[in-house]
């Protein structure tokens, strides 16, 4: 009898301990996510790699060309703000440790993109989007939902996001002033990195998303880019 009581008490303690550990882990993730939001929105982003095109001379741009480059780089910066939020949200609800590491690796490289675009906007004398907190919050919520759907859909969402961003960056390379080599160098390297992220997500088991989901993502991206171009 006494032995059974001791075993029951021990098992109860074990269950409680596991619950407490899981709760602590979830709280840790929330704290890390909150810290990531503050860093993304309020502090200058850092980069380990040198900024692409930093060794190139600054081109003499007309006022119209400078405004165009600045608006396009602001859109790209918003895209990186959204990427940070997406990966934070996906990482928070991802179930597999490998998937979490994949997301965090992509997020680290996206942080460099954030730094590059931020610096280029400053060099062009422009400003970042006034709606960055809104973009971050919405993208974080989408990331959380994507993570809750399961790891294969989580990674599939990451891959499709990067495919669409790559297409978007290719369009910007056509729109940027030809002589703005510094901006073009940044966008070119970003495009290379995004393709790498998509390949990485698929290699870890990402699933092909249904066409309606892809269409909805494209529609949302269009609204974001057109708004961020001006605001």
Distance CA 23, CA 19 (A): 6
What local confidence, expressed as pLDDT, does residue 35 receive?
61
pLDDT in tens, 78-116: 999 998 888 888 888 887 777 877 777 777 778 899 999
Q: Which two tokens stand for residue 85?
A: 């939020």
pLDDT higher than threshold 50 for residue 227: yes
Q: Are 180 and 121 in contact (CB under 8 A)?
A: no
- Give the count of alpha carbons within 13 A of 8, CB side only: 5
Q: Which two tokens stand for residue 215?
A: 């269409």
Task: Tell me if residue 174 falls in helix, strand or coil.
Answer: helix
Name which residue leads in pLDDT, 31 or 54: 54
Q: Are 155 and 207 in contact (CB under 8 A)?
A: yes
Mean pLDDT of 41-67: 89
What local confidence, expressed as pLDDT, does residue 32 receive?
60
Alpha-carbon distances of 79 from 3, 75, 105, 139, 190, rounded to whole Å: 61, 6, 17, 10, 11
Distance CA 78, CA 84 (A): 10
What local confidence, expressed as pLDDT, does residue 61 receive?
95
Task: Tell me if residue 130 falls in helix, strand or coil.
Answer: coil
pLDDT higher than threshold 60 for residue 205: yes
pLDDT in tens, 1-33: 433 433 343 344 344 343 343 433 466 666 666
Name which residue leads in pLDDT, 166 or 105: 166
What local confidence, expressed as pLDDT, does residue 122 receive?
96
Distance CA 35, CA 197 (A): 23
pTM of the model: 0.81
What local confidence, expressed as pLDDT, does residue 22 receive?
40
Mean pLDDT of 205-215: 91
Domains of the chain are 44-230 (1.20.1260.10)
Name which residue leads in pLDDT, 208 or 28: 208
Q: Are 102 and 159 in contact (CB under 8 A)?
A: no
CA-closest candidate to residue 77, choices 27, 130, 117, 131 = 117
**Beta-carbon contacts of residue 29 (< 8 Å; ≥ 6 apart):** 91, 92
Name which residue leads in pLDDT, 70 or 18: 70
- Of 64-68, 103-107, 200-204, 222-226, the poorest mean pLDDT is in 103-107
Alpha-carbon distances of 74 from 60, 119, 183, rounded to whole Å: 20, 11, 11
Q: Which two tokens stand for residue 46?
A: 């850092």
In the chain, pLDDT over 90 holds for what percent of residues? 50
What local confidence, expressed as pLDDT, does residue 106 receive?
77
Distance CA 158, CA 100 (A): 12
Buried b (16+ CB within 10 A) or exposed e, 92-115: bbbeeeebbebbeebbebbbbbbb
Distance CA 13, CA 8 (A): 9
């Amino acid at each position: 009898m006494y032995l059974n009581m001791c075993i029951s008490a021990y098992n109860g303690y074990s269950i409680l301990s596991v619950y407490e550990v899981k709760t602590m882990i979830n709280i840790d993730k929330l704290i890390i996510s909150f810290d990531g939001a503050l860093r993304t929105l309020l502090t200058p982003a850092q980069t380990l790699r040198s900024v692409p095109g930093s060794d190139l001379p600054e081109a003499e741009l007309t006022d119209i060309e400078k405004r165009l480059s600045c608006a396009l780089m602001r859109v790209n910066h918003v895209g990186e703000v959204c990427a940070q939020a997406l990966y934070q949200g996906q990482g928070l609800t991802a179930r597999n440790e490998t998937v979490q590491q994949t997301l965090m690796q992509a997020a680290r490289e996206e942080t460099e993109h954030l730094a590059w675009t931020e610096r280029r906007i400053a060099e062009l004398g422009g400003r970042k989007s006034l709606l960055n907190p809104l973009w971050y919050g919405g993208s974080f919520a989408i990331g959380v939902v994507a993570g809750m759907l399961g790891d294969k859909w989580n990674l599939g969402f990451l891959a499709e996001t990067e495919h669409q961003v790559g297409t978007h960056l290719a369009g910007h390379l056509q729109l940027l002033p030809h002589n703005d080599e510094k901006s073009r160098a940044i966008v070119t390297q970003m495009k290379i990195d995004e393709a790498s992220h998509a390949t990485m997500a698929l290699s870890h088991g990402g699933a092909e998303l249904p066409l309606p989901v892809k269409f909805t993502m494209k529609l949302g991206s269009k609204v974001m880019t057109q708004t961020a171009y001006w605001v």
